[in-house]
Amino acid sequence: MSPARDDGLEGRVALVTGGASGIGRALAVAYARAGAHTVAGSFPGDPHNVGETVAAVEAVGTGARCVPVDVDVADTAQVDALARRAVTEFGRLDIAVAAAGILRVSPLAELDDASWNTMLEVDLTGVMRTFRAAAAVMDGPGAFVATSSISGGVYGWDDHAHYAAAKAGVLGLCRSLAVELAGRGIRVNAVIPGLVESPQSLDPVNSLGPDGLAAASRVIPAGRPGTVDEAARAIRFLTSDDAAYVTGAQLVVDGGLTVGWPA
């Protein structure tokens, strides 16, 4: 018999954007293992199937549920409705994780206003909308986590200035909300994933692709890219009672990349 969990997650309800794939899907499964329910927001145009997230949660077998909801985080009304759906389905909302994001390559000379604004609408303002909507329906204490990136959160990335700017902005947003919401017992933290193998990073056009990830492994002290499960477990920790005194922090999950001297 497995020992009872003491991280406080059993029975809690988490809202997760970007729930159709990658870290969002892995997080829904991680919450299910802890006995927590998930409302998984996913963009209708996402090529990944959020139904696979629901199936993966059900396969865990703890009785935890995953409710899929279509949402465009660039639309305030849809994000507000997503948060209300959590309360309608489960009667409460305890956790919000902003994991939805897009990644597009664009050298500065080709970076027009529309491309810049679209990136920030999703990767930065979408985080704010998610947290604002969640805070509006939460009655008690809770935890928010946003996914930043090693690109912008730590390093620069050529041909991706709009993405890096959005991800750097996420850190300032989380620090400020950690201060503002502390009186309500809501903790706000950010995770900074390094090179994690995901549908986004495997895109050879807008990101590194398989060959780029393989080459990067030579400069990662851990010797490999991270997995979405590893990133998800870090987020799960930050939203659990094990991190009850952690707020306004940025947790780097990168296999040592940012502290290792390049070979």
> Which positions are annotated as active-site residues?
163
What residues form DSSP beta bridges with 151?
Answer: 155
Distance CA 112, CA 229 (A): 35
Distance CA 232, CA 47 (A): 21
187 contacts 247 by C-beta, under 8 angstroms:
yes
Rounded to 10 degrees, what is the CA torsion of 122, 140, 70, 116?
0
Q: Quick one: how far is CA 205 from the chain centroid?
A: 22
* Identity of the amino acid at 7: D
Q: Quick one: how far is CA 225 from the chain centroid?
A: 17
In the numeric block, which tokens belong to residue 203? 């895109």
Strands 13-17 and 142-147, by their bridges, are unpaired
Q: Which residue has the tokens 């899907």?
A: 25
